[in-house]
Structure 1
Amino acid sequence: MTTSQTSVSHPAEYTELLGRLATVHDLHAASAVLGWDQMTYLPAGAGGPRGRHLATLTRLAHEHFTDDRIGVLLDSLGPFESSLPSDSDEASLLRIARQDYRRAVRVPGSFMATFAEHQSASYQAWAVARPANDWEAVTPILERTVDLSREYAGFFPRTAHLADVFVDEAEPGLDVASVRELFSSLRARLVPMVRQIIAQPRPDDTFLTRAYPVDTQWQFGEMVARKLGYDFERGRQDRAPHPFTTSFSRNDVRITTRLSETDLRFGLFATMHEAGHGMYEQGVAPGLDGTLLGSGASSGVHESQSRLWENVVGRSRGFWKWGYSRLQSTFPGQLGDVTADQFYRAINRVEPSLIRVEADEMTYNLHIMMRFDFELALLDGSLRVTDLPEAWNARFKDDLGITPPSNQDGCMQDVHWFASPIAGQFQGYTIGNVLSAQCFDRACEVHPSIPTEIESGEFGTLLSWLQTNLHALGRKYDVNDTIVRATGRALTIEPYLDYLRDKFGDLYDLS
């Protein structure tokens, strides 16, 4: 690893630290491979052993990272760090390593192993129970997740809310109060627009639910991902019940999607979304690969990249000026009688929906705000797991005017609470939405040709700007610093609201 400014001589202690941290990284990467396999190809009967494998790797990684020698090395390297520019790779690594180490030593390795094994079993139970709409099967499992999440939070100093621990892990530098402030200001501006739009006639989208052979969808989706810039020489796409992206190194970043023969939108936009995540991980600077800095800055910053490619680009009129003729020729029987304008209006139809990942851009954030509030309530005990379905349905009715007909399409729909701790899982999606518009605006300020290039199917200028100004930074800086470095200003909702008003004002009456 070399400094981002000049080459420097590394003390022996720094070299030793890099070696120890590389071992920790490799253990996490091995665990990630098993996690990817669990969500894609794991045989149904292999769940128990897989949970033990993950628990062992999690415990070993934690023990290696919390070894006293790591603390000694970090302390001894203080003078070396002080001699470096604060934004050098070495100084950033030492800063992040010290931050992560201080957090990790608070948590026993045995607890980390227990939680990892529980999460593996929880995911496997959810994957069976959700299609069967069997809420009772996962209720005790989710109760255990809540208990373990509270126990984890208890290892840290008391804060204003138990969820602060998880929010800060997902979005370094943020807490529950700052997320609530963001959500409150956004909701106040968003809800009136949503109400205005849903009172108006909606465009026809029935042609999107004609029969679309999944193999052909797969081929078209991979073509689009490759065209956007996702490198299949350093990645691959597979199918999963819930689309996700995982990275073992910048040279092995894998995406997944899900396909529906009766809805073209599912696979197409899931692939574009995950390709956005994948391009972020593939774009981390080579010198950061295999270190604590070799990943995204935060959940929200990561989501800004997936939402930018899925929505700001992928649902734009400009993108489909290039893409629609190709899609239409791929599915002539399904889209031969549909114009490009009809298609564009259909994929941007605003209508309250049951499923978060299928929600339109105008209502999507209401799904996120609801989940964030439920996480806080579950964690602080003001909402019991057994009461979650009723609370979910009531909030859904209040916010979106519809009631889920089943728990399968209600509180069981997301994988997050069945594969991760409770809290800190959802706020990143809205932060990502807001930041996606801010990033795109800044890129277009620097390169005004980007919108025209998109219309011609050229995405290299946009991707190159993102790689240079955001992806390459990896995890060197906290959320706020990363955003300022990339866009020139702190996170603000104004570009996102302008984007929504401009886009949907062209489709609906927002006067």
Structure 2
Amino acid sequence: MKSDSVILEIRKKEQTIKDLEHILALLSWDQETGMPGAAASGRARQMGLIQDQLTEHLRDERWPHWLEVLQSIQNIEVQRWGQLLQRRYREYQLLPPDFMTRFVESSSMARDSWLKSREADDFGLFAPDLKQLVFLLKERCECLGYEDEPYDALLDLYEPGMKASVLEKLFDQLQKELSSLIDKAIRPFEHTDCFSGNRIPIDIQKKISLRVLQDMGYDFKAGRLDYSVHPFTSTLGAYDIRVTTAFDENDFFNGLFSTIHEGGHGLYEQNLPPQWHGTVVSEACSLGFHESQSRLWENIIGRSRPFCLYLKNLINQEMPDLDVHEDRMFHQMNKVERSLIRVDADEMTYNLHIILRFRLERALINGEIQVENLPELWNQELFNLLGLKNESDRLGVLQDIHWSCGDMGYFPTYTLGNMFSAQIWKQVKHDIHDVDQLIEKGQFQEIQCWLKDHVHSRAALLTSTEMMHELSGSDPDTSFFIDYLKDKQRQLNG
């Protein structure tokens, strides 16, 4: 009976913590979608106030006793719950009481200066705020501790157990494989415009995006689609999962794939196990796994040949007179080219953009480079990896929002997500033999049910490595992703 009462106390405390986190997420969502620019300092103060309350709850003196009780219960899921709570409690015990408040306020202000700096194409306007965030991130690393290097402490926040040395080996291997593939894949395509010069109006793009999300299984009773400069997904409650996208009348696929990508994130959040709602268990096992879901929908399904037929039919329902070339569409959405912007990059070159960011932020946190040198070092690394020259801060070091949020250690999860998605998809194709025919018809229910049963419902009960073993029988492995890319190129050349 004692353990039952403790569990009730913990569930009540965790729900309060989750509610505060969701309030923070709502304030952040508003900041990105509609907040007036002059409100930045007030918003930073508000977010700091909520963070103060979060910290107070996570430093409650009853946690050691509660955690001891959970670990004494002979139930695998309850003990895993206790391990996750112990990890969270430990972080807040090791950090100074005011650290997270300082961090939230600084990142809120940095986000505002990043926007101004980006608009002015001048890194110097952002540099002071980024210096402050880097200072705080280094403090965080020292407080949390690490075995090999400071950057590992940040990686562990997003991909538990991951080490920079492991990523370095994976990324070096990927870079070698990708460099060879990219050289062979880059070639001029004639007549790649599948719309023959026509444009898809924004209002029709919105209709198509809403329809695709609906067909994917995204629940609009528990979410909505909004618009932001940098598309993202926000969890504002167990049944309030919001996605954003951005449309461009001159680039139909940019908005479409942003929608599908965020929809993949949204589906993961909407299908986490309800019996664990309000707890740390009802979260993704890692950010890399979360990214695997968005990448699986955006790239493996969304850029497939079967998806082109489905999409062609959707477009023709809205624009019956538009002559859509299905084969050209497949080539257009899979064209490989070296480009400056990460979010616009194709499946092959995208990971080189991630390797660039990984190397720079790792060196920054480990004290090997300084904030002032980032633009120059960015452009050097860009040339080394992609052979491109860049003289614009806006198109270079300022193009991503992540560093202004203090999210260093986050970027590698994108490439891990690409790797995981290819590994997962191999098992999906093994289990669902007519998967291509289902995609052609826009019948995604069986795919989504498979993902819900094998990935989403497992939530954080397993680590990402344990999940991969359960799904594919092996550790995370670059070979699945490379094989997937090679098969895509064979289809394009066929």
TM-score, with structure 1 as normaliser: 0.93
- 2: distance between equivalents of 1:438 and 1:78? 33
- Measured after TM superposition, the shift of residue 378 of structure 1 is 1.1
Aligned to 1:144: 132
- Measured after TM superposition, the shift of residue 77 of structure 1 is 3.4
1:61-210 equivalences in 2 (<5 Å): 61-80=54-73, 83-84=74-75, 86=76, 88=77, 90-198=78-186, 200-206=187-193
Change (3 A) 1:28 1:452: same
**Is this contact kept in 2: 1:235–1:254, CA < 8 A?**
yes
Alignment-mate amino acid for residue 14 of structure 1: I
Show CA shifts across 1:236-274 (max 9, x none).
011111000011233110000011121112110000000
In structure 2, which of residues 416, 428, 444 is the aligned counterpart of residue 459 of structure 1? 444
**Is this contact kept in 1: 2:19–2:237, CA < 8 A?**
no
- 1: distance between equivalents of 2:72 and 2:166? 34
Aligned to 2:29: 36
Identity of aligned residues (%): 34
Aligned to 2:374: 388
- Measured after TM superposition, the shift of residue 212 of structure 1 is 3.1
User: Are 1:285 and 2:278 counterparts?
Assistant: no
Change (3 A) 1:129 1:75: same
Aligned to 2:318: 330
Matched residue SS, 1:77: helix
- 2: distance between equivalents of 1:49 and 1:148? 21
**Is this contact kept in 1: 2:193–2:329, CA < 8 A?**
no
- Measured after TM superposition, the shift of residue 367 of structure 1 is 0.4
Aligned to 1:3: none
- 2: distance between equivalents of 1:272 and 1:96? 30
- 2: distance between equivalents of 1:145 and 1:205? 44
1:430-441 equivalences in 2 (<5 Å): 430-441=415-426
Change (3 A) 1:71 1:9: closer
In structure 2, which of residues 475, 480, 484 is the aligned counterpart of residue 495 of structure 1? 480
**Is this contact kept in 2: 1:58–1:112, CA < 8 A?**
yes
Change (3 A) 1:96 1:341: same
1:349-388 equivalences in 2 (<5 Å): 349-388=335-374
Alignment-mate amino acid for residue 56 of structure 1: L
Aligned to 2:40: 47
**Is this contact kept in 2: 1:126–1:138, CA < 8 A?**
yes
1:468-479 equivalences in 2 (<5 Å): 468-479=453-464
**Is this contact kept in 2: 1:250–1:283, CA < 8 A?**
no
- 1: distance between equivalents of 2:146 and 2:20? 31
- 1: distance between equivalents of 2:458 and 2:238? 13
**Is this contact kept in 1: 2:71–2:79, CA < 8 A?**
no
**Is this contact kept in 1: 2:312–2:324, CA < 8 A?**
no
Change (3 A) 1:159 1:204: farther
Aligned to 1:411: 397
Alignment-mate amino acid for residue 233 of structure 1: K
Show CA shifts across 1:249-305 (max 9, x none).
331100000111211121100000000000000010111111111221111000000
- 2: distance between equivalents of 1:356 and 1:486? 29
Question: Bigger shift: 201-210 or 166-175?
Answer: 201-210
- 1: distance between equivalents of 2:467 and 2:448? 17
- Measured after TM superposition, the shift of residue 154 of structure 1 is 1.1
Change (3 A) 1:203 1:366: farther
Show CA shifts across 1:104-161 (max 9, x none).
2101231110110011111122223212212221011111111111111110224211
Size of the aligned set, in residue pairs, is: 493
- 2: distance between equivalents of 1:138 and 1:395? 21
Aligned to 2:308: 320
**Is this contact kept in 2: 1:127–1:241, CA < 8 A?**
no
- 1: distance between equivalents of 2:281 and 2:234? 16
Question: Bigger shift: 182-191 or 200-209?
Answer: 200-209
Aligned to 2:16: 23
**Is this contact kept in 1: 2:123–2:393, CA < 8 A?**
yes
- 2: distance between equivalents of 1:9 and 1:474? 27
Aligned to 2:329: 343
Matched residue SS, 1:256: strand
Change (3 A) 1:204 1:366: farther
- Measured after TM superposition, the shift of residue 471 of structure 1 is 0.4
**Is this contact kept in 1: 2:364–2:370, CA < 8 A?**
yes
Alignment-mate amino acid for residue 150 of structure 1: K
Change (3 A) 1:19 1:203: farther
- Measured after TM superposition, the shift of residue 210 of structure 1 is 5.1
**Is this contact kept in 1: 2:70–2:79, CA < 8 A?**
no
TM-score, with structure 2 as normaliser: 0.96
- 2: distance between equivalents of 1:179 and 1:66? 33
**Is this contact kept in 2: 1:204–1:346, CA < 8 A?**
no
**Is this contact kept in 2: 1:277–1:302, CA < 8 A?**
yes
Matched residue SS, 1:237: strand
Question: Bigger shift: 266-275 or 256-265?
Answer: 256-265
User: Are 1:480 and 2:468 counterparts?
Assistant: no
**Is this contact kept in 1: 2:438–2:444, CA < 8 A?**
yes
In structure 2, which of residues 411, 414, 432 is the aligned counterpart of residue 429 of structure 1? 414
- 1: distance between equivalents of 2:401 and 2:227? 15
User: Are 1:234 and 2:258 counterparts?
Assistant: no
- 2: distance between equivalents of 1:164 and 1:268? 35
In structure 2, which of residues 47, 50, 72 is the aligned counterpart of residue 57 of structure 1? 50
Aligned to 1:5: none
1:288-303 equivalences in 2 (<5 Å): 288-303=276-291
- Measured after TM superposition, the shift of residue 214 of structure 1 is 1.6
**Is this contact kept in 2: 1:203–1:345, CA < 8 A?**
no
Aligned to 1:213: 201
Aligned to 1:260: 248
**Is this contact kept in 1: 2:3–2:69, CA < 8 A?**
no
Superposed CA RMSD:
1.8
**Is this contact kept in 2: 1:257–1:267, CA < 8 A?**
yes
- 2: distance between equivalents of 1:505 and 1:420? 40
**Is this contact kept in 2: 1:203–1:346, CA < 8 A?**
no
Matched residue SS, 1:292: coil
- Measured after TM superposition, the shift of residue 219 of structure 1 is 1.4
User: Are 1:449 and 2:420 counterparts?
Assistant: no
Alignment-mate amino acid for residue 360 of structure 1: D
Alignment-mate amino acid for residue 327 of structure 1: I
